[in-house]
Amino acid sequence: MSQAKIHTRPFAALGNDDVSQVGGKNASLGEMTQHLGDAGIHVPEGFATTASAYRDFLEHNKLSAPIKELLEDYRIQRKTLEEAGAAIRQLFLDAAWPDEIAESIRAAYRQLAKQIGRDEPDVAVRSSATAEDLPDASFAGQHESYLNIRGEAALLDACRRCLASLFTDRAIAYRDNHGFDHMRVALSVGVQRMVRSDSGAAGVMFSLDTETGFPDVVLIDAVWGLGETVVQGSVDPDEYQVFKPLLEKADCCPIIERQIGGKANKLVYAEGGDQPTRLVETDAAERTRLVLSDAQILQLARWAVAIEAHYQRPMDMEWALDGETGELFIVQARPETVQSRVQAGALKSYRMKAAGERLVSGNAVGDAIAAGQVCRMDQPGQAADFPEGGILVTAMTDPDWVPIMKRAGAIVTDHGGRTSHAAIVSRELGLPAVIGTGNATAALEDGQEVTVSCAEGDTGFVYAGILEFEARDLSLDDIPPTRTQVMLILADPAAALRWWRLPADGVGLARMEFIINNLIKIHPMALVNWDSLEDATARTKIEELTRGWTDKQAFFVDTLARGIARIAASRYPKPVILRMSDFKSNEYARLIGGQTFEPDEENPMLGWRGASRYYSPDYQAGFALECRAVKMLREEMGFDNVIVMIPFCRTTTEADRVLAVMAEYGLTRGERGLEIYVMCEIPANIILAEAFAERFDGFSIGSNDLTQLTLGVDRDSARLAELFDERDEAVKTLIRQVIQRVHALGRKVGLCGQAPSDHPDFAAFLVEAGIDSISVNPDSFIAVKQAVAKAERGP
């Protein structure tokens, strides 16, 4: 039989060289079946119809001429897109299978049944389009798929419907927009054994971070039931992130994020009726439980790494968990097409310049900001009627929404996760999107002026009114090398990965208290004393935040460890200096349940803060949770690049007490390579520099507090603002002294603060004084790096 007359081919006989005959989706399934089995990757058995079968189907039914005529009617506007598309699809549905092709499909189905040992197996029937002269063209998301198809007659009908879906309205519009000749495109149908994820779980997986392009994580979304709900965005999934470089490290579990999604519904098999699947509500236990175990998350992540290595490019994959056997499968893999195209030499930085009323929040897609009028829509109508730059607000999107999305300035949806259709298309279009708000269509009014911000980390916000914001281009070209290390100040785990392209020497200051405030939101002592906590309002809020956690203290430890891990991952294996919590008592009191455990201090800035809390009977149990999180981070997750730093340590006696408490909770200086630094922000730290150097491995100058305590100026006083200056000679004298004296003992000294960013002459002073490192906010990094390089070159 000639190649032109081969109408079906098993996956096991396909590979990447067959894209022109079976499309990228089916060729990829064959490639994985042939080459990745040795890596332990499971791909369900199946077969594909060929492009030849599609073209023979057209010829047998004489469809080419009427299809061309209907497309011409659409081109000259004698018919609308909807009318032309419906008429073409009906041509396919009314057409008959040529006997030779029908028998080839039946025979392949029988062979599949024999292979898996099941009569009339249930199969997934998916479309895989291709252009023979454009084999690399991507037609992802334009055509239909059908699940739980059983029997030869139902299979032939589903295959016919797949062929018809080559002319969905969205597929016609897509090919027009990209200049593809409709008659040169063919459609292959993939027929694959169904994984019983209807009683298990399914989802989507990327071998990089979809928002930032950070290449060292695997992103996994997971839902109960069949996976179509993830792609459609109709269900808010669990989200997991795994750090790839530590996957093969012995005894490591580098899952840096585990976020429980709402998972309100799941798609399952229907029993009887015309539809093979149905959407049902999940129960309370399913909504509060993680879909995947740690072992399953790690297995999928290892598969993602193996698939990426085989294809030598970032990949977008779909997976399924069989509820009957407990086996995991990869059911689809395609190249990732958005972040892999992002130019590596430039960054755009957005920043809100004005505060506003937050109307709704959800998952942030992208890192941009946009402002405009709300255009609330229930159905995708005529794209021409949508105002250019409007803020599209809808429950969820599917491919039919794309023409409207292209006109939008931003997108806001009620449902969906970071791998939903709305999120994927928003990334491709470069639009900010706030996904999975839960209530945007109810909370936002048509015509209302709003500002959509995705520049504040993982959470995106919709603000009332048109607010002022800033957009800056940051070029990474020609950043000069420096002897002095220039490091980053980071606080928000959600934003840490945004800056991975910056050639920083590590993180000089990771602020633990910001992680507690943003991710945990609960006072640690409220969790320690959960059983006796009497604050009813606080108990209600804590129950909501810790849903799924019976051990409230474990929630704190786990959430804090994974939050720090995202910062540590962004620079691994370079050092990340983690400052233990440095809330003031008034700030601690604002945490949920905090009022019960905090004193009312006259001057919190000089009160119960930093080291003095860690050994106090009133907070030591809270500090123990912080220590447990760091121990988990370093020893269980593998982030041994994290250095611990103690803030506001007033005396050497206090230092000894803190180090003893840390050792009691498993953090002993020197063990397993643990280094402990001290913040140098009190004149006493410099006066007794040698004594502190005996106890700590390094010093980090906190210029704000050091200036405040040296000059006796309240750093927050507007009236005394002109007196507050890190460049005052008294402050500079202390900085020179500590650098010289600590260097003589072989210890490192860095500085973290805003001064080097604001004052290039201060950066030059630090270089002249011999500072080891300077830590700055990410958006100041390039300017400070240039100032340091200039200072090192000299006059």
pLDDT digits (tens, 9 = 90+) for 774-784: 999 887 888 89
383 has a pLDDT exceeding 70: no
DSSP 606: G
Bridge partners of residue 317, in order along the sequence: 205, 333
Q: How confident is the model over 160-208, as pLDDT tens digits?
A: 999 999 999 888 988 888 788 999 999 999 999 999 999 999 999 999 9
Spot the catalytic one: 7, 143, 421, 523: 421
Q: What is the pLDDT of residue 2?
A: 40
Between the CA atoms of 480, 509, 559 and 613, what dihedral angle is there, to the nearest 10 degrees?
Answer: 180
Give pLDDT, residue 134: 45
* DSSP track, 22-56: HHHHHHHHHHHHHHSGGGT-----EEEE-HHHHHH
CA–CA dist 428, 145 (Å, integer): 22
Give, in order, the Cα–Cα distances in Å from 344 to each of 476, 635, 780.
Answer: 8, 33, 19
Whether the pLDDT of residue 140 is over 90: the answer is: no
Q: What are phi and psi of 201, to 5 degrees?
A: -155, 170
pLDDT level of residue 759 (50, 70, 90 thresholds): confident
Q: Strands 328-335 and 315-321, how do they pair?
A: antiparallel
Element (H, E) at 204: strand 201-206
Report which residue type is found at 409: G
Q: Using the predicted structure, report yes or no on whether residue 601 has a pLDDT greater than 90.
A: yes
Is the predicted pLDDT of residue 477 greater than 90, yes or no?
no
- The pLDDT assigned to 376 comes to 93
Which single residue is written with the structure tokens 């190249």? 335
Confidence of residue 722 (pLDDT cuts 50, 70, 90): confident
Q: Between these two residues, 36 and 1, which has the higher pLDDT value?
A: 36
Per-residue pLDDT at 620 exceeds 60: yes
Judging by beta carbons within 10 Å of its beta carbon (0-12, 13-18, 19+), is residue 395 exposed, middle or buried?
middle
DSSP string, 524-538: HHHHHTGGG---HHH
Mean pLDDT of the chain: 91
Q: Residues of the chain with pLDDT > 70: what percent?
A: 96
d(CA 1, CA 204): 39
Q: Render pLDDT for 532-545 as a digit per residue (tens, 0 to 9).
A: 999 999 999 999 99
Residue 147 structure tokens? 């699940």
Annotation marks residue 421 as catalytic: yes
User: In this model, does residue 504 exceed pLDDT 90?
Assistant: yes
pLDDT in the model for residue 346: 59
pLDDT at 355 over 90: no
Nearest to 194 by CA among 287, 68, 323: 323
**752 classed as catalytic:** yes
Mean pLDDT of 236-247: 96
- Mean pLDDT, to the nearest integer, of 705-723? 87
**What pLDDT is recorded for position 295?**
96
- Among 439-443, 602-606, 610-614, 733-737, the minimum mean pLDDT is found in 602-606
> According to the per-residue pLDDT averaged within each range, which of 139-148, 458-467, 547-556, 645-654 is highest?
645-654
Per-residue pLDDT at 593 exceeds 60? yes
Q: Is 127 exposed, middle or buried (0-12, 13-18, 19+ CB in 10 A)?
A: buried
Which residues lie closer than 8 Å to 424 by C-beta, 6 or more apart?
141, 210, 338
Q: Is the pLDDT of residue 474 over 80?
A: no
Give CA–CA dist 572/612, Å, rounded: 31
Q: Is the peptide bond before 599 cis (omega within 30 degrees of 0)?
A: no
Overall average pLDDT of the 205-213 stretch: 91
Residue 1, pLDDT > 90, answer: no
Contact 652, 554 (CB under 8 A): no
Range in 67-81, 214-228, 598-612, 705-719 with the lowest mean pLDDT? 705-719
Is 503 a residue whose pLDDT tops 90? yes
Closest CA to 292 of 416, 229, 201, 197: 201
Residue 660 burial by Cβ neighbours in a 10 Å radius (0-12, 13-18, 19+): exposed
Do residues 450 and 444 touch, judged by C-beta distance below 8 A?
yes
pLDDT at 381: 74
CA 19 to chain CA centroid, Å, is 30
> What's the average model confidence in pLDDT over 138-155?
82
User: What pLDDT is attached to residue 135?
Assistant: 42
Query: Picking from 157-161, 490-494, 540-544, 581-585, which range would have the lowest pLDDT averaged per residue?
Result: 490-494
What's the chain's Rg over C-alpha atoms? 30
Confidence of residue 647 (pLDDT cuts 50, 70, 90): very high
Residue-level pLDDT at 133: 42
- Residue among 159, 627, 649, 752 flagged as catalytic: 752
pLDDT > 50? residue 210: yes
pLDDT computed for residue 341 by the predictor: 61
